[in-house]
A = this chain, B = another copy of it.
Amino acid sequence: MTESPDGAPAADPMGDPLYREAVVDLLGVIGYGELAAFDRLAEDARLAPTLDDKLAMAAMAAAEFSHLAALEERIRALGSDPAEAMAPFRTALDDFHVHTSPADWYEGLVKAYVGDGLARDFYREIAAQLDHETRDVIVASLADSGHAEFVVDRVRAGIVADPRLGGRLALWGRRLMGEALTQAQRVAADRDSLTLLLAGGVGRPGMDLLAIGQMFTRLTERHADRMTKLGLDA
């Protein structure tokens, strides 16, 4: 019921300090997520078997970083400091990466594709509930880095060369989903503000429990689609 992309609030929701604070939190978690993704992709690029592969993975890392500037600018425009806005989410996101450190190049590829896709879907769902300006900044920051095809090619070729790889990577994909949900829940429990963004507020419609359930169904379905594209059982 609040899913329409045109369902923007009538009044300026930034007049509500709770809303503004919640948006800064959201921009902070997305920003730190992109910084952490940059960091890990740059590291995982070292697992690349060839220089071409290393270049492709490094390009994904640089693409993540390139999205950060607009988020930082928006945080500043809302009167907050970017590093301060990101700080509360460091532990949860760093823990996600520590718990999902790839054992080899293929796990790194799957993580780059599945993890990035999941984060993108999730933040887009939240952005759909927000004022136009914030939504546009977030959607632009989540632009596809255009390397999906590279990952799909490499993973599929790897499975052809060694069919046992498919079973291992399917388990890995499920673990990535599980770790992502664990850390997302932890963030939600710590930061009421983000829950508030989903639930709506004065003059601003939100998602009810049914809508939130439907959102999780969509996230799960899209995750399964990505696994299928990689040639893996979800």
The residues of A with any CB-CB pair to B shorter than 8 Å are 32, 35, 38-39, 42-43, 45-46, 50-52, 54-55, 58-59, 61-62, 65-66, 68, 72, 82-83, 86-87, 90
Contact = CB atoms under 8 A, between A and B. Distances in A.
A42 B82 CA distance: 19
A66 B59 CA distance: 9
Contacts of A59: 65
A38 to B, nearest CB: 6
A39 B58 contact: yes
B83 A55 contact: yes
Copies of this chain: 2
A85 to B, nearest CB: 10
Contacts of A62: 38, 61-62, 65-66
A222 B90 CA distance: 39
Given A42-B39, A42-B42, A62-B62, A82 B55 contact: yes
A43 B45 CA distance: 11
Given A42-B42, A42-B43, A83-B50, A35 B55 contact: yes
A33 B112 CA distance: 25
Contacts of A87: 51
